[in-house]
Amino acid sequence: MGTRFKDDTKDPAINVTSWVLMVTIIFSVLGRLWTKFQLFKKLTVDDLLIVASLVFGVGQTIAVSLAVGSGYGKHYKDVSGAELDQVMKNLFAGSLLYILSLVFSKLSLAVFIGSLTPSSKDKWFARVAKTIVYVWAIVAIFGTAFQCSVPRTWDFWNGQCFDLLAWRYFIVISNVATDLVIFTQAMILVASVQTTLGRRLIFAGIFLPRLLVVVATIIELAFIKQGTQTNDPTYHMCEITIFEAIIQCLSIVTACWGQIKPLLSWMRSNGLKLGGVEDPTCWRSYKMTTQSWSKSRDRKINPESHENYPLPIQPDQILVTQNWEVDSQTWEVDSQSSRAHIVGPETHPWASDGQRSPDRLSQ
């Protein structure tokens, strides 16, 4: 009885891995969207970004599957010239879709982390992380789109291309760098909360799985040279494609990990607020408004200093800190408005001429 698959082809491994991982990311995103809608009855910007990442991820899987159908996974000698062209075209489209999927998953996670606190410092770090991802996306997309001379920009085998080995190293290393930036953003947020060490570690554990993306990307480095400098590209590039599918899946799943129902419920019970979801029945949040400032005027606050104000939650819950800048001019205006409401001793026109009040005259 013969085996079902030949030993000299890798197309089953590519197809099985790609489609299984695609189903995984679909269920991950659907689970996240269902959770958010059940809790808040609305979706936020980071949800739309992860949906875009899912769409591009599904497109990348389809492109790779079409490449496999054209002969990708077989040895170069078993693939015709027309089939090789179709393989390169599909892999070219898959590479662009792969980068776009990664970009939107990174942006989704960066936006989610930035929405967990009203602190201006955390918002600033979120903007920095998103800017770095934008720059990486522009460079990676345009570099991949024009890696070879026009009009055959997809022909990495017969066309005139720049150093593809160096370019692929750049994509992998810069992908690691952007994920580390987002992870650093999350750790800065964890460091800014006021709670016990155990709860802080639990909070950090929400973002630790993101390091799996970094590990998988670093492992991919070991296969880049073998898949680029080879005389059998349709066979030796398969490991790179498989690792790209794994990295794409991990990138989307870890971006959804922090928004599954148990973790969202845990963050909600610990006083963390998810920006963009204005439902006071769901999140125990506290915003310092003008009224709350007027109620706390009896506290002596130095206008030149910054002070952390804890959330009104239980002592064993996480406290998110925020720096509040007090403008001395604003305080002066408030103090003047307060004095305007002070009622002094009542004076009467008859007080100047020595006349008695009507009440006393009646007596």
Per-residue pLDDT tens, the chain, 363 aa: give them: 344 445 578 888 999 999 999 999 999 999 899 888 887 788 889 999 999 999 999 999 999 999 999 999 999 888 888 999 999 999 999 999 999 999 999 999 999 888 887 778 878 888 999 999 999 999 999 999 999 988 889 888 887 888 899 999 999 999 999 999 999 999 988 887 777 788 888 888 889 999 999 999 999 999 998 888 888 889 989 999 999 999 999 999 999 987 776 666 656 555 555 555 544 443 333 333 333 333 443 444 444 443 343 333 444 444 444 443 334 344 344 444 444 444 444 444 444 444 444 444 344
Residues 6+ apart with CB under 8 A from 23: none
CATH 1.10.3210 corresponds to the domain 11-269: no
Q: Residue 161's beta-bridge partner residues? A: 148
Closest CA to 6 of 64, 55, 78, 67: 78
Asked if 321 contacts 193 with a C-beta cutoff of 8 angstroms, the reply is: yes
Indicate the Cα dihedral angle 342, 343, 344, 348, nearest 10°. Answer: 160
Q: Which three-class secondary structure state does DSSP give residue 323?
A: strand
What gap in Å lies between CA 239 and CA 220, rounded to an integer? Answer: 8
What gap in Å lies between CA 181 and CA 130, rounded to an integer? Answer: 9
What confidence score (pLDDT) does residue 180 get?
96
